[in-house]
Amino acid sequence: MALVRAYEGWKEAEKEGSAYEYCWRNFLSAQTLQAIHSLRKQFNFILKDAGLIEEDTNNHNKLSHNQSLVRAIICSGLYPGIASVVHRETSMSFKTMDDGQVSLYANSVNARYETIPYPWLVFGEKVKVNSVFIRDSTGVSDSVLILFGGALACGAQAGHLKMLNGYIDFFMDHNLAECFLKLNEELDKLIQKKLQDPKLDILKEGKYLMLAVEDLVSGDQCEGKFVFGRESRKPKVTNDNDRFTKDGANPKSLLQTLLMRAGHSPPKYKTKHLKTNEFRALVEFKGMQFVGKPKRNKQQAERDAAIEALAWLTHTSDNNQNEHDDSQPDVTDNMLKLLGKRRRSKQRRPG
């Protein structure tokens, strides 16, 4: 996006006869901008020769102010150069399918920001020194990547879409997933029609399709509606969370309280950062380990691991759990088995 804006500013300055001053004031290379201009002319010729655009390009540039659509075009051109943005509480990191952890090039415009309000970056170049750096990056939303990225495939569950052989996962309402698949299919058909019949008025033929795409990508505010690696909702997860988190209860504190009152050391947590940009936590105590489900951040992952442990300790397993049971967690069955020896040893000391 920075290159797009820099070029537009340079063209405006050129009309006013101040192109040199514009480059000097903004630390830009006039030779590089001229090279970009030459490439644009070549691409324009190729598009006209293929019949995708007419001689008068004014109609095709009337949406150039729409930043979301410009990002979509950039995404289409740079894919599969895609990096996921991993947001943390005080920092962020970036990962690619081929290189894992990568960094932004120091001179990159995006490197100046403390946070990037997009879940993905498409990039034009990778540089390897001691580690891998990405350059010429642009943030894109989930909907932009779904519609203008690579081929989509359906996952095993309803509402699960995959890209890059399953490296990228999208989980959403199944109706919305079907909508994306249909829009993707219709976009491909429209382009194929235009290639087969250069005289086809693509603006008229695809008017409502493009309006739908425009509204969809412009309305995606990156608020987590499509979460990378999100699991579909399962009733048992909701029930466990309701049972151990109601009235503001903290499952980690509850687990620690149960163990400390029984005379044991507090639980220890180990968290792993998964390739799906999620976190999975393991809680360990008394030689036993319980693993939670992948979550968006470390805190949620540890809470889920604590819930798994509490479910076992209080005997609220999937088989005998009552979803309408609002009683407080009780120390029964598995908890007594786990702590029985400790309690008997305490009882023998006074005698």
Phi, psi of 84 (to 5 degrees): -85, 145
pLDDT per residue, tens digit, the chain (351 aa), is 788 888 889 988 998 889 889 999 888 889 999 999 999 889 888 888 877 777 766 666 777 778 888 898 899 998 889 998 887 767 788 888 888 889 898 888 888 888 888 889 999 889 888 889 998 899 998 889 999 988 888 887 788 888 888 778 888 888 888 988 999 999 889 888 888 888 888 778 888 888 888 888 888 777 544 543 334 333 344 455 666 665 556 888 888 877 766 667 788 999 988 878 889 999 988 778 888 888 889 888 999 998 888 887 765 444 444 444 444 444 445 655 555 544 444 444 444
Q: What local confidence, expressed as pLDDT, does residue 119 receive?
A: 87
Question: pTM for this one?
Answer: 0.57
Q: What local confidence, expressed as pLDDT, does residue 69 receive?
A: 86
Distances (CA, A) of 127 to 95, 131, 231, 280: 14, 8, 34, 31
Among residues 156, 149, 151, 106, which one has the least CA distance to residue 131? 106
Whether 68 and 144 have beta carbons less than 8 Å apart is answered as yes
Whether 102 and 177 have beta carbons less than 8 Å apart is answered as no
Q: What local confidence, expressed as pLDDT, does residue 51 receive?
A: 73
By three-state DSSP, how is residue 264 classified? Answer: coil
Whether 109 and 43 have beta carbons less than 8 Å apart is answered as no
Q: What local confidence, expressed as pLDDT, does residue 134 receive?
A: 92
Q: What local confidence, expressed as pLDDT, does residue 247 receive?
A: 52
Whether 84 and 94 have beta carbons less than 8 Å apart is answered as yes
Q: What local confidence, expressed as pLDDT, does residue 38 receive?
A: 92
Among residues 68, 66, 76, 4, which one has the least CA distance to residue 221? 68
Q: What per-residue string of b and e applies to 166-180 under the rule 16 or more CB within 10 Å gives b?
A: eebbbbbeeebbeeb
Cα maximum dimension of the chain: 101
Size (the chain), residues: 351
Q: How are strands ordered across the β-sheet holding 268-273? A: 268-273, 279-285, 288-291
Find where tokens 């991993």 sit: 86
